[in-house]
């Protein structure tokens, strides 16, 4: 079931540098939210806080009302959170199937001792997850690459493999970090269709960090705009693109003066 994400007065500081300041917003179950802003706005740092790679200095992060700020990524996976990265983090010498199966680590029965002993229950669980992984790859047009090494595939296909890995964990909240980076136009159109289908068919809440405003406009229900670590505005993509504050943040004050 799609999750609700709530951020309240989130702050992140490194020494004397403020990276995020009093960021608050809520993503309702089943929404696709775009997180946008100019370079250096704090988008990836915010993602890192939500996904457990950074511990916020203060403030709260809640998934379905459960406070999760500061939890490790593995713990957050148990809360239904999965994430992809701008540069896919794959094991390049492993096969595509082996990479996708890494997404099942929270769903295997038992623990390291049972896994090492190859108990019947563990073996059955591994077989079931393998069948799911193959089905995901087929569903996303990558069934032909199951036995290939990851380093034999293109950057765009790496993104597809990483997405399948995230989906194998059966997330209720999916974070996509610049999924269109480096993709040609035709693949961006396919990505929009894919993310919509994931949201609708798998009942997942999706948050997208992306610079491609065409994708943001076509895909998202709402956007949150960050600038210098603060929330600048929240609304639809169309409202954001016509907001003088957003135009100034992206293009500078002269652009808003020219538009006036």
Question: Which CATH number belongs to the domain containing residue 101 in this structure?
Answer: 3.40.50.300
Domain membership of residue 114 (yes or no) is: yes
Question: In this structure, are 254 and 199 located in the same domain?
Answer: yes
- Closest by CA position to 231, among listed 23, 27, 3, 88: 23
Same domain, 62 and 29: yes
Q: How many CB atoms lie within 10 A of CB 95?
A: 17
Give Rg (Cα) of the chain. Answer: 19
Examine the domain organization and report whether 91 and 76 are in the same domain.
no
For residues 202 and 171, give the distance between their C-alpha atoms in angstroms, rounded to a whole number.
Answer: 9
Q: What is the mean pLDDT of residues 129-153?
A: 93
Distance CA 167, CA 2 (A): 13
Does 93 lie in the same domain as 76? no
Higher pLDDT, 223 or 106: 223
Asked if the structure places residue 121 within a domain, the reply is yes
* CA atoms of 162 and 146, how far apart (whole Å): 13
Going by pLDDT thresholds of 50, 70 and 90, the confidence category of residue 124 is confident
Contact 50, 1 (CB under 8 A): no
- pLDDT bucket at 178, cuts 50 / 70 / 90: very high
Q: Is the pLDDT of residue 255 over 50?
A: no
- Helix ranges (H only) for the chain are 43-50, 73-78, 96-101, 112-117, 120-139, 155-168, 185-202, 213-219, 237-242, 244-251, 253-259
Q: In 3D, which of 84, 46, 51, 45 has the Cα closest to residue 70?
A: 51
Domain contains 206: yes
Q: What is the pLDDT of residue 17?
A: 93
Would you say how long the chain is, in residues? 260
Total-model pTM: 0.89
Whether residues 155 and 216 share a domain: the answer is: no
So what's the pLDDT on residue 134?
94
Question: Number of folded domains in the chain?
Answer: 2
Is 99 within the bounds of a domain? yes
Looking at residue 259, what is its pLDDT? 45
Q: Looking at the structure, do residues 1 and 77 belong to the same domain, yes or no? A: yes
Confidence label for 200 from pLDDT (cuts 50, 70 and 90): very high
Single residue among 114, 137, 170 that ends a domain in this structure: 170
176 inside domain: no
Tokens 């994931």 locate to 198
Segments forming the whole domain that contains residue 140? 87-170
Residues 63 and 130 in one domain: no
Please name every residue paired with 61 in a beta bridge, in sequence order, or none if there are none: 7
Q: Domain ends where: 135, 170, 205?
A: 170
Q: Are residue 97 and residue 63 in the same domain, yes or no?
A: no
In a domain, residue 216? The reply is: yes
Widest Cα–Cα separation across the chain: 71
What's the rounded Cα separation, in Å, for the pair 206 and 102?
21
Domain boundary among 137, 170, 203: 170
Q: With respect to residue 207, please indicate whether it lies within any of the assigned structural domains.
A: yes
Residue 181 resides in a domain: no
- Specify whether 141 is located in the same domain as 207: no
């Amino acid at each position: 079931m799609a999750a609700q994400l709530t951020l309240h007065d989130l702050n992140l500081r490194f020494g004397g540098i403020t990276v995020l300041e009093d960021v608050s917003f809520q993503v309702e179950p089943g929404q696709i939210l775009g997180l946008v802003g100019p370079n250096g706005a704090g988008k990836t740092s915010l993602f890192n806080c939500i996904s457990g790679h950074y511990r916020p200095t203060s403030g709260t992060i809640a998934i379905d009302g459960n406070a999760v700020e500061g939890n490790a990524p593995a713990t957050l996976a148990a809360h239904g959170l999965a994430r992809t990265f701008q540069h896919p983090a794959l094991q390049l010498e492993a096969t595509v199937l082996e990479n996708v199966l890494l997404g099942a680590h929270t769903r295997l029965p038992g623990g390291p001792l049972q896994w090492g002993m190859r108990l019947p229950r563990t073996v059955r669980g591994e077989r079931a997850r393998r069948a799911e992984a193959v089905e995901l790859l087929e569903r996303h047009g990558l069934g032909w690459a199951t036995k290939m090494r990851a380093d034999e595939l293109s950057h765009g296909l790496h993104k597809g493999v990483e997405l399948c890995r995230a989906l194998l964990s059966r997330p209720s909240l999916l974070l996509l970090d610049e999924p269109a980076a480096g993709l040609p136009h035709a693949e961006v159109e396919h990505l929009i269709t894919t993310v919509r289908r994931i949201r609708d068919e798998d009942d997942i809440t999706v948050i997208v960090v992306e610079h491609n405003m065409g994708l943001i406009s076509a895909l998202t229900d709402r956007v949150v705009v960050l600038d210098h670590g603060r929330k600048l505005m929240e609304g639809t993509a169309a409202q954001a693109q016509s907001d003088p504050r957003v135009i100034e943040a992206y293009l500078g004050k002269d652009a808003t003066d020219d538009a006036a």
